[in-house]
Chains A and B, each alone.
Chain A
Amino acid sequence: MLKVEKEKFISVIKDNQNLIYKICYSYCSNAENRKDLQQEILIQLWNSFSKFDGRVKLSTWIYRIALNTAISFYRNDSKHGDKKVSIDASIISLSNFEYVPEQDENITMLYQFIEKLNEMDKALILLYLDDNKQKDIAEVLGISETNVATKISRIKKILKEQFRNN
């Protein structure tokens, strides 16, 4: 039973590995911490897997857990030595070395911009860039749709300014 459940979980992770990868990259600039955060997110997703009842979309559920874990991880970076499960290798990694995201100038600049945002704005911009609807962003974050719109327009202004300066 557990084996079947784990295989189902692996398939869900496989379908959503981009999302996890991008969240880890946005909240941790350090590769070692990124690996720890990735493991932490997978642990939290596994722990809640049996509780997923389909009331919200699967992606909403993954965003919620992954972003919450990333925010808590980011805020407790002094405790990173206290790992729950110790695995040295990355579970989600780039297999093709021909593609190096760091060489993509716009992506690098975008990640640099995201890095400067606070924990909550990071979550908001990631949800926005991943083309989520304002309603879904509001649901994941727990704020009103109007509030989402206001914050996005504020971030747009800052971003425009940053890209102009670069």
Chain B
Amino acid sequence: MELEELKSVWAQYDKKLSQNLKLNEELLRKMNLEKSKKEMDTPLTYEFVSATGCTIFLLFIASATIIHSNELKFLVPGIITSIIIAIWVYNSISKIKLLTNIEYYGFSIVELQKSINTFTLKYQKSKKFELYSIPVFAISAAPILGISLRNFDIYDYPIRFIIAIVLGLLLGYPVTIWGYKNLYDKKIRNTTKFLDELSRFEKEE
């Protein structure tokens, strides 16, 4: 059967649907559509909260590092912690930028799908970074947080600190790698593949 013939079959089908489809108006009226509108803003709200929280934390760690900058044992972990948090802030701001640039109701299908999937890819990659940076973050933040919050010098207990580092690295990374492989690896591959498909769909003539 030719596609043109199928078009007329489809038109007849459409006619039958017009005669038989029923819209449950009462149910549509009852649907809490306003609530769902608020829920749609969740990713943006999450990123705003995350960017603000991380910026405050970054300011705190940076000032604590400056205060204790005369001691190398606090300066180095302070700088490492600040760099990690700064990257988290940068990732959150990039995601906010991507999200606010999406015109959900003005873009064509290719444009919107590209924007959504670019954001998804950015989100998954930044999750990957967060996951990998957590063990290093925990180890580097401990001395600077200890001294600035409780005036507690973790280096006074070197054995405990070394045990914490070893545990952090030995347990933290295998768990992180396992988590990443199971949670994000496949998703990143799928999103990248779909973005490639979209580019081919757009260009192919």
Please measure, in the bound complex, the distance between the C-alpha atom of A93 and the C-alpha atom of B107, giving whole angstroms: 29
Pick the contact of B201: A51, A120, A129 (CB < 8 A): A120
Pick the contact of A131: B2, B7, B20 (CB < 8 A): B7
Q: By the criterion CB–CB under 8 Å, are B108 and A96 in contact?
A: no
Q: By the criterion CB–CB under 8 Å, are B111 and A142 in contact?
A: yes
Q: Which residues of B contact A47 (CB under 8 A)?
A: 33, 36-37, 40, 104-105
Looking at chain B's contact residues, is the secondary structure mostly helix, strand, loop, or mixed?
helix
Interface residues on B, range: 35 or more
- Which partner residue on chain B sits nearest A89 by CB separation? B27
- Which partner residue on chain A sits nearest B104 by CB separation? A48
A106 touching B1 in the complex, CB below 8 Å, given contacts A18-B17, A89-B24: yes
Total contacting residues, chain A, CB less than 8 A: 65
Pick the contact of A130: B3, B10, B31, B198 (CB < 8 A): B10
A85 touching B10 in the complex, CB below 8 Å, given contacts A14-B23, A47-B37: no
Give residues 1-60 of B contacting A (CB, 8 Å).
1-3, 6-7, 9-11, 13-14, 16-25, 27-33, 35-37, 39-40
Q: By the criterion CB–CB under 8 Å, are A110 and B16 in contact?
A: no
| Binary flags per residue of B194-205, CB closer than 8 Å to A gives 1, else 0 | 100110011011
B22 vs chain A, min Cβ distance (A): 4
Q: Which residues of B contact A22 (CB under 8 A)?
A: 14, 17
Give residues 91-146 of A contacting B (CB, 8 Å).
91-96, 99, 101, 104, 106-107, 110, 118, 120, 123, 128-131, 139-144, 146
Beyond A85-B33, A110-B6, 7 additional contacts (C-beta under 8 Å) are A10-B25, A107-B13, A120-B109, A147-B202, A147-B204, A150-B205, A159-B6
Interface of B toward A, CB cutoff 8 Å: 1-3, 6-7, 9-11, 13-14, 16-25, 27-33, 35-37, 39-40, 104-105, 107-113, 116, 190, 194, 197-198, 201-202, 204-205
A-B contact pairs, 11 of them (CB 8 A): A43-B36, A61-B105, A65-B105, A68-B104, A89-B24, A110-B10, A120-B198, A128-B3, A140-B108, A141-B110, A159-B1
